[in-house]
Structure 1
Amino acid sequence: MSIESADDNPTSSPGPNQAVGVDVGGSGIKGGIVDLDTGELVGERYKVLTPQPATPQAVAAGIRDVVEHFDWNGPVGVALPVVVTSGIARTAANIDKAWIGTDIYELLGAELGGRRLSVLNDADAAGMAEDRYGAGKDYKGVVMLLTFGTGIGSAIMFNGVLIPNTELGHMHVGKKEAEHQASSKVKEDNDLSYSEWAVEVSKVLAAYEALFWPEVFIAGGGISRKAHKWIPHLTNRTPVVPATLQNTAGIVGAAMAVVAGLRP
């Protein structure tokens, strides 16, 4: 089940200001021990395949496998592709719809024993990490992360404080939801050039900035790796910068959440 692993002797006891973060995606469940003084992983991350179907119990078992790989008895943060309020999953993206209505702390508490636990939306976790350690670290005020993929994920930070579960990809801009206009899937499905796609992204960003007046947009998702091909074509007012943490952002943000005692 393992895809990539840490060294032969993973850390087992929590160091100062360390936690395990686990990021659950549609294809993989990946985790690592995070040094929150630096935002870097201690050793390599470890990844297992996301079970199919990705039911709550099956995914919980995968999360347990990742945590137990590190022989870890300290705090654990988990990033999930769901909206979380009062510990309950309210939506389900890229995982089984059986997650909706699940008490996540009851589920994961049974799998992870007495470990201190925090669970949050995956875009929110990535936003927290980018804001503190990544592309947003030099900005004050409102910082917005947007992940461009199958949909558009969002996270809003204000002076380092998360405003959870914003789900701005579902906001209507004109006659369509934003993610039906400007996700990277829309670019692929309609065979748009980067400059053509940037026109649609600019419309969405202009709508967001009119409401929230951010200091910066951080562009995440796989297409951010080609930011030089489309960010220069954007016409909205607010600066847009590519995310820098890439595959570790969700892991780092999840670890941040549990150390901060965040439980949305």
Structure 2
Amino acid sequence: MADSSGKSSTYIGIDIGGTGIKGGIVRLKSGHDTNGELHGSRFRIPTPRPATPEHVADTVAEIVAELDSRPKAPQSSNPVGICFPAVIHHGICLSANNIDPSWVGAEVADLFSARLEREVRVLNDADAAGLAESRFGAGVDKAGTVLTITLGTGIGSALVHDGVLIPNLELGSLEFWGGSMAEKKASAAAREREDLDWQVYAKERLQPYLTHVERLFSPDLVIIGGGISKRPDDFMPYLSLRAPIVTADMTNNAGIIGAALFASEASASN
């Protein structure tokens, strides 16, 4: 599928998670319209154990092969976008808070490019989700600074200013509550681990954390993503910031769509 310029408007996006690796074909443009929608169903395979670079690369290759086999697969010359739960700087993994430590120092983009035999663009998973939400989801057409906070096993964060991603914010690593990392106290996993009810969690954990983050970055919009965004009535009524605060629109597809978008824009800039 191609847009009016003749360039392909579909890209493959891959979202690498702790329990599963999922991918999809993403339609980014149709004529003059930008869609940001999955073209067909997602394809998911459980994350291998151990989740070493070689094992994960093999699983990603299996997913890409399945997507490539579909009748409306993107052109093979299009780069594949992959999002990953780590700090990614110039294609190199710099952290391993929620992944196998063997990834630290790995040249992630080169690893996947060699395994797939095609160009690959890699970014942090929260950055991918935030990019997708700012372009196609809850932050669409919002000028200024859009801050996305994803709440799950840890806390992910993405800052997009006037449509431009500022990568690797890592606000889950902020020291809070006497020196603990914020995600140890305010993530969705922390709520479950400590058996906090939603009101206590929102008022005593999320509210002070989000107030602190807002003071640091003065966003024009705050988007709450991650698994708990499916249950806004449980916690959103207890949160209040200067900026508007909303839940994410794209939930489980945000990483796939954001990764594909990142790959498409990197390709367009070349």
Which residue of 2 is the match for residue 8 of structure 1?
A: none
Matched AA of 2:39:
V
Which residue of 1 is the match for residue 64 of structure 2?
A: 67
Kindly indicate whether residue 54 of structure 2 is the aligned counterpart of residue 48 of structure 1: no
Matched AA of 2:193:
D
Kindly indicate whether residue 162 of structure 2 is the aligned counterpart of residue 159 of structure 1: yes
Which residue of 1 is the match for residue 194 of structure 2?
A: 190
| SS of aligned partner of 2:123 | strand
Kindly indicate whether residue 14 of structure 2 is the aligned counterpart of residue 17 of structure 1: no
- Give me the whole-angstrom Cα distance separating, in 2, the residues matched to 1:211 and 1:93: 23
Which residue of 2 is the match for residue 223 of structure 1?
A: 228
Kindly indicate whether residue 250 of structure 2 is the aligned counterpart of residue 258 of structure 1: no
Which string of whole-angstrom CA distances, capped at 9 and with x for unpartnered residues, describes residues 91-134 of structure 1? 12433110000011221121111x23200000000000011000
- Structure 2 stretches lacking a partner, 5+ long: 30-34
- How far residue 173 of structure 1 moved from its aligned partner, in angstroms, is 3.0
Which string of whole-angstrom CA distances, capped at 9 and with x for unpartnered residues, describes residues 158-197 of structure 1? 0111010010011123423221221112211222121111
Note the 1:226-245 alignment, pairs <5 A.
226-245=231-250
| Contact map agreement 1:53 1:95 (CA 8 A) in 2 | no
Kindly indicate whether residue 50 of structure 2 is the aligned counterpart of residue 58 of structure 1: no
Taking structure 1 as the reference length, the TM-score comes to 0.90
- Give me the whole-angstrom Cα distance separating, in 2, the residues matched to 1:112 and 1:146: 31
Note the 1:90-105 alignment, pairs <5 A.
90-105=94-109
Note the 1:6-155 alignment, pairs <5 A.
16-37=8-29, 38-71=35-68, 73=76, 74-113=78-117, 115-155=118-158
| Contact map agreement 2:86 2:98 (CA 8 A) in 1 | no
- Give me the whole-angstrom Cα distance separating, in 1, the residues matched to 2:212 and 2:36: 32
Which string of whole-angstrom CA distances, capped at 9 and with x for unpartnered residues, describes residues 19-76 of structure 1? 1000001111111111112000111111111110000000001111111112252320
| Contact map agreement 1:198 1:233 (CA 8 A) in 2 | yes
| SS of aligned partner of 1:261 | helix
Matched AA of 2:44:
K
Which residue of 2 is the match for residue 7 of structure 1?
A: none
| SS of aligned partner of 1:63 | helix
- How far residue 145 of structure 1 moved from its aligned partner, in angstroms, is 0.7
Matched AA of 1:201:
L
- Structure 1 stretches lacking a partner, 5+ long: 1-10
Tell me the number of residue pairs that the alignment of Structure 1 and Structure 2 aligns.
250
| Contact map agreement 1:153 1:169 (CA 8 A) in 2 | yes
| Contact map agreement 1:144 1:157 (CA 8 A) in 2 | yes
- Give me the whole-angstrom Cα distance separating, in 1, the residues matched to 2:200 and 2:7: 49
Taking structure 2 as the reference length, the TM-score comes to 0.88
Pair 154,204 (structure 1): closer, same or farther in 2 beyond 3 Å = same
| Contact map agreement 1:203 1:236 (CA 8 A) in 2 | no
Q: Name the Cα RMSD after superposition.
A: 1.8
| Contact map agreement 2:25 2:38 (CA 8 A) in 1 | yes
Matched AA of 1:76:
V
- What fraction of aligned residue pairs are identical, expressed as a percent? 44
| Contact map agreement 1:173 1:207 (CA 8 A) in 2 | no
